[in-house]
Structure 1
Amino acid sequence: MSKGKKAFSRRDFFKITGAAGLGSIFATMGNLAAASDKSDSKNSGPVTVPTRPFGKTGVNVSILAFGGSQNLESKQRLLRQAVKMGVTYWDTARTYAGGTSEEAMGKYFDRYPDDRKKIFLVTKTPSSDPDRMTRHLETSLKRLKTSHIDLFFIHRVSDVRDEVNRTTKAWAERAKEKGKIRFFGFSTHKNMEECLLEGAKLGWIDGIMTSYNYRLMHKDSMKRAVDACVEAGIGLTAMKTQAGFFASFYANIGKENETVLKLTERFMEKGFTPEQAKLKAVWENPHIASVCSEMSNMTMLQANVAAAIGKTKLSFQDKRLLEQYARETASGYCAGCANLCESAVEGNIPISDVLRYLMYYDNYGNHEQAVRLFNEIPSITRRRLAGFDYSKAEHLCPQKMPIAKLMGKAVEKFTKYAMG
């Protein structure tokens, strides 16, 4: 690729496959609806997203969850359409879009109160301190205009033994007794396997949201962790299912990686895009109750719903190629094993977090969110990031990532964006 060209993002890649891809998406929706009518003439209702049991809670949830880590103020029609399509697991958090995500969902429930009964509503607190959790829960209830939260998470847990304890259990039990939450758990972006295993040991966690995708699902450690949660009756929600990598890799995606071209061709012939295929790969694990996806427009919602209701499964060769592609591009993807890289450097350097923010910036195009999260890092730490010696961390990284280079790029991009 010439120097004059910019590295393209996930959205650009979708546009490239989109001319044919969008046609196949909408054709799929129409064909599926027609097939449904033929297969069950007694059922005149619309085709909607299937559901799965959420652990041992006794609740079934839609296998596609609406990710609320976006500004939803002007997207009431999108929320309405999600309900109509059966996307009734809604995920938000106190901090999403500066709190406006919760407020927008509350606005929706205020307008369509009957729909609240259909929604499995999830929100999160960034704190494990009981007093703060109480204040945050009360704020969320007011913003969301609801009397209860279906599943309340501690957000971004990286060490269960440190952040989720007996005090947390007592708090959750009181909140349940008061009818303010139905279920309790946590989300985790890093050290996921360890967090899942430790969460399963506790014996009282109802649900966990974890990074899980075609890159991570083949790891023996992840398989053991998921099995432990299943045995413990914990409902699992997958996030980061697209497993995006950093911008520098997009520069070579068509020129140096034939696997992705083979994958794209195979999937398009079957009537779905690579993005849809990555969702299908996760759904093939029946123990994943739902996949959380940030769907910012009708096209993405329809595409993901089409993938959820589509009967075409990935073949053995499809899955083999996805696994091969994951290996070939491993050094462009942070697998979240922060206990390795961060333990190799002194000074509490949040390597995994910064690389995740860079992924938000490069792959999702969420520049504002990435920079806001980056700026939450103490300034004294931020100033050290670009020139730090990451050689030991790079040596331990199982993905063989160029950590120093990526950290430098992150600081440069975030600083430039913040300066306007």
Structure 2
Amino acid sequence: MDEKKDLLSRRSLLQGAGMAGLGSLLSPFRKAAAASETGNPDRVPTRPFGKTGFDVSILALGGMFDIVSNQLVLRQALRWGVTYWDTADCYGGGRSEEGIGKFFSRAPETRKQVFLVTKSDARDPSGMTRLLERSIQRLQTDTIDLYCLHAVNDIGELNEDVRRWADHEKNKGRIRLFGFSTHRNMEECLLGAAKLGWVDGIMFSYNFRLMHRDAMKRAVDACAEKGIGLTAMKTQGGGPIHVDSDLELELAGRFLKNGFTDKQAKLKAVWEDPRIASVCSQMPNLTILAANVAAALDRTRLSDSDRILLQRYAEETAGGYCAGCARICETAAGGDVPIADLMRSLMYGRCYGDAELQRFALRHHHVAAKKHEWLRADLERAEAVCPSRLPIRKLLASGIAFHASHIDPFG
């Protein structure tokens, strides 16, 4: 059999495996649906959120979508035990928080079931107070379970003023825990938080690509030892596996034969790390919610060969994924271009096919106002030092062109 026919044959096998594995793939979902009807306690499992005294569902509902128009997703999430809900003051121009608040106003008894997280883009105490008050009003609640600084790039952002503010708001009862989220320089931020001693929770990019890096292992260990609750995000590591190469065919086919998809396998890879309390996933519809709940309920573990193959795939496709090591490329480019943020924004469209989220993210980073300044930066040097060898200049140019050709829904 020649190489082309062999590839086609394996593609057909993959399609057949997908159909054959459909029953086992949906079995945990049916189990969850039955549990919601009968009151069976077999729901999405929980784990301790560090040493905070809180238990959280291992699957968290990421709120970067129009929750106002998707109330059914929230109701079904609760039925299946997805009780960790994450949002931020800026998501959807505020519609994410407003949507959760709408749900609580209609079903106030559900608030006590939810571990509620929101985030602040402000860093100064007065700005944080203003945004916290607005979030509380939008969410129609008295208390935020975990209040975070949004997208921290340097642990220096958590200064003494922030610590005193967090203590003050805890004493007032408006927040229970305090922490931050981070997409850039994650390892340095986690290590810094462990040294501070007053951070309760961290949400950070963590997936099958990043978890094997020595620096990441040390950082996660340090936080776990200090009892910080850890939530993984960006767990798909750059989107679904395609079938353009022999390795991708082998990887996707292996998982389907075992009864789950490559997306579910990537979630499992993170859940198998006991230091991670929860995985935050954007689930804007019931299809994605059901698939992720099925993965959370399924106790099948990845085999050693599964993990090795995932690691091989990560190494061979590293050039398509920004690992968030912003200090390297941004220092080389002159320090004024948020390269890691822009690469992450572009991945929403390029890797996940979510053009609306890409538009929102690019607008958030002021692409229209700063594009000329960014294109004058030393992006060639940034490319030369990028560990993943991302084509930064080409990607940034395509992002600017995309932004210019689309009307921003939040503008």
Q: TM-score, normalised by structure 2?
A: 0.90
**1:33–1:369 CA distance, 2 compared to 1 (3 A):** closer
Indicate the residue corresponding to 1:417 in structure 2.
406
Q: TM-score, normalised by structure 1?
A: 0.88
Indicate the residue corresponding to 2:228 in structure 1.
234
Choose which of 358, 380, 383 in structure 2 pairs with 1:370: 358
The structural deviation recorded for 1:16 is 11
Choose which of 107, 110, 117 in structure 1 pairs with 2:112: 117
Code of the residue aligned with 1:148 in structure 2: it is T
Instruction: Give the SS at the match of 2:67.
Output: coil
Choose which of 160, 173, 176 in structure 2 pairs with 1:182: 176
**1:91–1:20 CA distance, 2 compared to 1 (3 A):** farther
1:397 and 2:391 aligned? no
1:284 and 2:279 aligned? no
* Identity across matched positions, percent: 53
Instruction: Give the SS at the match of 1:70.
Output: coil
The structural deviation recorded for 1:383 is 2.0
8 A Cα contact 1:267 1:277, kept in partner: yes
The structural deviation recorded for 1:75 is 1.4
1:198 and 2:192 aligned? yes
Cα distance in 1 between the residues matched to 2:20 and 2:27: 11
1:30 and 2:30 aligned? yes
Code of the residue aligned with 2:207 in structure 1: it is N
Instruction: Give the SS at the match of 2:148.
Output: strand
1:295 and 2:283 aligned? yes
Instruction: Give the SS at the match of 1:157.
Output: coil
Cα distance in 1 between the residues matched to 2:304 and 2:371: 45
Indicate the residue corresponding to 1:66 in structure 2.
61
8 A Cα contact 1:385 1:411, kept in partner: no
The structural deviation recorded for 1:370 is 2.3
Indicate the residue corresponding to 2:7 in structure 1.
none
Deviates more, 1:327-336 or 1:371-380: 371-380
Deviations 1:342-379 (A, max 9, x none): 00012501111111110112233332332233234355
Cα distance in 2 between the residues matched to 1:297 and 1:71: 10
Gaps of 5+ in 1: 1-14, 37-42
**1:416–1:22 CA distance, 2 compared to 1 (3 A):** farther
Indicate the residue corresponding to 1:254 in structure 2.
243
Indicate the residue corresponding to 1:268 in structure 2.
256
Cα distance in 2 between the residues matched to 1:118 and 1:16: 41
The structural deviation recorded for 1:179 is 0.3
Gaps of 5+ in 2: 1-14
Deviations 1:140-170 (A, max 9, x none): 0010000000000000000111x11110000
Indicate the residue corresponding to 2:202 in structure 1.
208
8 A Cα contact 2:144 2:175, kept in partner: yes
Code of the residue aligned with 1:91 in structure 2: it is D
Deviations 1:232-276 (A, max 9, x none): 110000000001169xxx8xx433x22111111111111100000
Cα distance in 2 between the residues matched to 1:300 and 1:375: 26
- Written as runs of structure 1 = structure 2, the 5 A alignment for 1:78-227 is 78-161=73-156, 163-227=157-221
Indicate the residue corresponding to 1:310 in structure 2.
298
Superposition RMSD on alpha carbons, in Å? 2.3
Cα distance in 2 between the residues matched to 1:21 and 1:362: 28
8 A Cα contact 2:66 2:92, kept in partner: yes
The structural deviation recorded for 1:337 is 0.2
8 A Cα contact 2:208 2:266, kept in partner: yes
Cα distance in 2 between the residues matched to 1:49 and 1:396: 42
Deviations 1:278-322 (A, max 9, x none): 000000000000000011111111110110110111000000000
Choose which of 331, 334, 337 in structure 1 pairs with 2:322: 334
Deviations 1:326-348 (A, max 9, x none): 00000000000000000001250
Code of the residue aligned with 2:355 in structure 1: it is H
8 A Cα contact 1:21 1:273, kept in partner: no
- Written as runs of structure 1 = structure 2, the 5 A alignment for 1:40-59 is 45-59=40-54
Code of the residue aligned with 1:269 in structure 2: it is K
The number of residue pairs the alignment matches comes to 392
8 A Cα contact 1:241 1:278, kept in partner: yes
Cα distance in 1 between the residues matched to 2:224 and 2:313: 28
